[in-house]
């Protein structure tokens, strides 16, 4: 069983943040709990070569299911994801702005959307899913998605701009950026910045900052289970614990402790796996 992040090939790293493979196999008839999937700063293509998942939006109860390849945009709410007994997902996690540059479709059209990737990338996406089904190991899967991304790059629709570098710097920063600093580095007025930022990330700069900080706190707690919440809050750029609590309630509807109690019931936990901080070179 595996839940691991892989570093993409050097020639595609301008566009791809990481690849993530999750492979979990349960006994037939075994009850598998749904995973509470919190917001994270990512736009993603997800391939499901075996069993597919059913996604339910926490806010509305809306369900989406039986999609072999999914494109989902930047989420700002929890979704509950139910999986089958043989679950394999291979995810391509894009750098901020990369999906817009590759497709020409503004990212805000995909915000909080979980859609059939075939409507955006046509039949090639299903050919890739079939190759992943036939792959002999995880290394070959990574080679397959690297090749697919190279195909997308050849067809790219938009050029890189300073704002793309700023978005990436925000993602990799340990502390939140100020809006003025973002606008200055991107060479835009505040009004232009918001429009361009939504075009690339699906969110305004302030909300994207908040998602990054929340995700850092979520992963830090998973990685360092015994670390106290105040320390996590400070290290992730919050003024105090109460500001962290507000972020958790805004994004999950729960307090930090309550959400992580739910997280401990995630399907991967049966195998001693969790979503922490790690990437693996191959």
Domain chopping of the chain, boundaries: 2-158, 162-263
User: Rounded to the nearest 5 degrees, what angle is found at the Cα of 46, between the Cα atoms of 267 and 79?
Assistant: 50
Rounded to an integer, what distance in angstroms lies between the CA atom of residue 274 and that of residue 4? 9
The pLDDT of residue 66 is above 90 = yes
Rounded to an integer, what distance in angstroms lies between the CA atom of residue 237 and that of residue 235? 6
Q: Please say whether the beta carbons of 18 and 8 come within 8 A.
A: yes
Q: Please say whether the beta carbons of 103 and 20 come within 8 A.
A: no
**Residue 177 has what pLDDT?**
82
Percent of the chain with pLDDT over 70: 98
Cα 36 off chain centre by: 13
**Residue 277 has what pLDDT?**
57
**Residue 190 has what pLDDT?**
82
Q: Is the pTM of this model over 0.85?
A: yes
255 class by beta-carbon count within 10 Å (0-12 exposed, 13-18 middle, 19+ buried): middle
Q: Please say whether the beta carbons of 5 and 20 come within 8 A.
A: yes
**Residue 252 has what pLDDT?**
98
Rounded to an integer, what distance in angstroms lies between the CA atom of residue 40 and that of residue 102? 21
105-138 burial code (b ≥16 CB/10 A, e <16): bbbbebbbebeebbebbeeebeebbebbeebeeb
**Residue 92 has what pLDDT?**
99
**CATH superfamily assigned to domain 162-263:** Homeodomain-like (1.10.10.60)
Please indicate whether residue 190 or residue 28 has the higher confidence score (pLDDT): 28
CATH number assigned to the domain covering 2-158: 2.60.120
**Residue 181 has what pLDDT?**
84
- When pLDDT is averaged across residues 270-281 and rounded to a whole number, the result is 73
What pairs with residue 23 in β-bridges? 2, 88
Q: Give, to the nearest 10 degrees, the angle between helix 241-252 and helix 205-223.
A: 100
Rounded to an integer, what distance in angstroms lies between the CA atom of residue 142 and that of residue 132? 9
- When pLDDT is averaged across residues 135-147 and rounded to a whole number, the result is 99
* Strand blocks (E) in 73-119: 79-82, 86-94, 114-116
**Residue 185 has what pLDDT?**
85
Rounded to an integer, what distance in angstroms lies between the CA atom of residue 92 and that of residue 120? 15
9-33 burial code (b ≥16 CB/10 A, e <16): beebeebbbbbbbbbbebeeeeebe
**Residue 189 has what pLDDT?**
86
Cα dihedral 126, 128, 132, 136 in deg (nearest 10):
140
**Residue 104 has what pLDDT?**
96
Rounded to an integer, what distance in angstroms lies between the CA atom of residue 79 and that of residue 56? 6
157-175 per-position pLDDT tens digit: 999 999 999 999 999 987 8
């Amino acid at each position: 069983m595996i839940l691991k992040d892989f570093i993409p090939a050097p020639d595609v790293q301008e566009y791809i943040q990481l690849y993530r493979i999750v492979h979990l196999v349960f006994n037939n008839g075994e009850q598998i709990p749904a995973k509470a999937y919190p917001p994270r700063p990512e736009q993603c293509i997800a391939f499901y070569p075996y069993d597919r998942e059913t996604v339910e939006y926490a806010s509305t109860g809306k369900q989406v299911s039986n999609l072999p390849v999914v494109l989902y945009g930047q989420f700002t709410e929890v979704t509950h994801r139910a999986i089958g007994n043989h679950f394999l997902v291979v995810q391509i996690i894009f750098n901020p702005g990369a999906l817009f540059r590759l497709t020409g479709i503004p990212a805000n059209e995909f915000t909080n959307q979980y859609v059939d990737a075939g409507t955006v990338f046509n039949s090639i996406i299903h050919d890739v899913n079939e190759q992943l089904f036939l792959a002999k190991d995880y290394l070959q899967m990574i080679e397959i998605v690297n090749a697919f991304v190279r195909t997308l790059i050849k067809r790219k629709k938009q050029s890189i701009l300073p704002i793309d570098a700023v978005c990436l710097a925000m993602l990799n920063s340990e502390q939140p950026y100020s809006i003025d600093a973002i606008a200055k580095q991107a060479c835009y007025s505040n009004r232009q910045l918001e429009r361009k930022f939504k075009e690339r990330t699906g969110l305004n700069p302030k909300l994207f900052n908040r998602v990054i900080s929340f995700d850092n706190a979520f992963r830090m707690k998973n990685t360092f289970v015994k670390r106290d919440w105040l320390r996590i809050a400070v290290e992730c750029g919050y003024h105090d614990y109460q500001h962290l609590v507000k972020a958790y309630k805004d994004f999950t509807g729960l307090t930090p402790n309550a959400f992580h109690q739910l997280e401990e019931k995630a399907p991967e936990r049966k195998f001693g796996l969790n979503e922490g901080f790690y990437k693996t070179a191959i």
